Amino acid sequence: MGKSGGSADDAARFGHTELPPEQSKALSKAVKLEWLTIAYLAVTTFVVFLVLGSSQAMKAAWIEDLLSFLPPIAFLVATRIIRRRPTERHPYGYHRAVGIAHLVAAVALVVMGTYLIVDSGLGLIKAEHPPIGGIELFGQVFWLGWLMIGVMAMTGIVPVFLGHAKMKLAKQLHDKVLYADADMNKADWMTALAAAVGVFGIGLGLWWADAVAALIISISILRDGIKNLRGAVGGLIDTKARTYDDAEPHPIADRIDTYLTGLDWVVEAKSRIRDEGHVFHVESFVVTAAGRPPPMARLIDAREACTNMDWKVQDMVIVPVPELPREFLPGLTASGGER
């Protein structure tokens, strides 16, 4: 079952689903962008480490940079795993690897965000005054804070562009890990700005500015973690299939139901869709007009029409029933409509 082609190129597949040309190109671009992100982070985290000093805001920004490694690594690992074809032991394929990678990254964000909030909050309560000394460069002594602010300004620009590029690809691939990474990248400028303001505040004699900036960055990390944790857990416990950004239910369900209901041999139709990570598994229940199963050819034609609606519809079964099974479709009312 599923849409498989004759290509032997595993890089253009998710399991036994051969990707259309647009998605295949998007996947290739996404992999390159994630490797570029890892290389960029390796440089920036090292540079930020060199100028950390005793600033809590800089420490929080540095830790966030370290955590930023998780989504691209998770994406690259999951992308390798899900290319494997289904086996007897894993008849649904390995698509859930995406959800597991998403969950691991989300848990790390929540744990570290919580730790940093406590650490920053204690620094504020204890009224710690972080000293920032000077550094000699080219025979001149500079306040280290200016170097910190300069580094933050440089590290906050590139991720924004990376985030916008990844966001488009996440939509094309229906990839929630890539979307989470893009969302974090787009917000990195706020982390850089908060750290820079905190350091500048120390220079003005506002000792609390550094702790407040660190607290803002920590809350941002925790917010990202909770948002991703909610989405990852929802996917693993088979919530209703939603769009790549979890903003709304995926429209493919309504399209399939509308098509099936419009067939001359169908009275009612309702589907439930399981999001496996990139692809969907669909179960459609249809009440037939004649009160008995239609000819096999009609079922095959209907299934092909539905799987051709969207590349993400990998597996689909159409189940003729005397009436819609409300125990399997709990969103239905007694009359058959949705609540």
Tens digit of each residue's pLDDT (9 = 90 or more) over 32-59: 999 999 999 999 999 989 888 778 888 8
More confident of the two residues 145 and 45: 45
pLDDT at 232 over 90: no
Helix or strand run (H / E) with residue 13 = strand 13-14
Residue with tokens 């969302």: 183
d(CA 201, CA 194): 10
Confidence of residue 5 (pLDDT cuts 50, 70, 90): very low
Confidence of residue 87 (pLDDT cuts 50, 70, 90): confident
pLDDT at 300 over 90: yes
Q: Which domains does the chain have, with CATH numbers?
A: 10-236 (1.20.1510.10), 239-339 (3.30.300.30)
**For 94-104, how does the pLDDT look when each residue is reduced to its tens digit (9 = 90+)?**
888 888 888 88
Which pLDDT value is given to residue 187?
78
Which pLDDT value is given to residue 316?
92
pLDDT at 302 over 80: yes
Write out the two tokens for 27.
Answer: 């996947």
More confident of the two residues 332 and 322: 322
d(CA 324, CA 227): 35
| Radius of gyration of the chain, Cα coordinates, nearest whole angstrom | 25
Task: For residue 74, give the 3-state DSSP assignment.
Answer: helix
Confidence of residue 26 (pLDDT cuts 50, 70, 90): very high
Q: Decide: 130 and 202 in contact? Cβ < 8 Å.
A: yes
What's the mean per-residue pLDDT of the chain? 85
> What mean pLDDT is predicted for residues 315-337?
78
pTM for the structure as a whole: 0.82
d(CA 255, CA 91): 27
Confidence of residue 8 (pLDDT cuts 50, 70, 90): very low
Write out the two tokens for 53.
Answer: 């000093």
Residue with tokens 């600033």: 55
pLDDT at 165 over 80: yes
**For 103-125, how does the pLDDT look when each residue is reduced to its tens digit (9 = 90+)?**
888 888 898 889 888 888 887 88
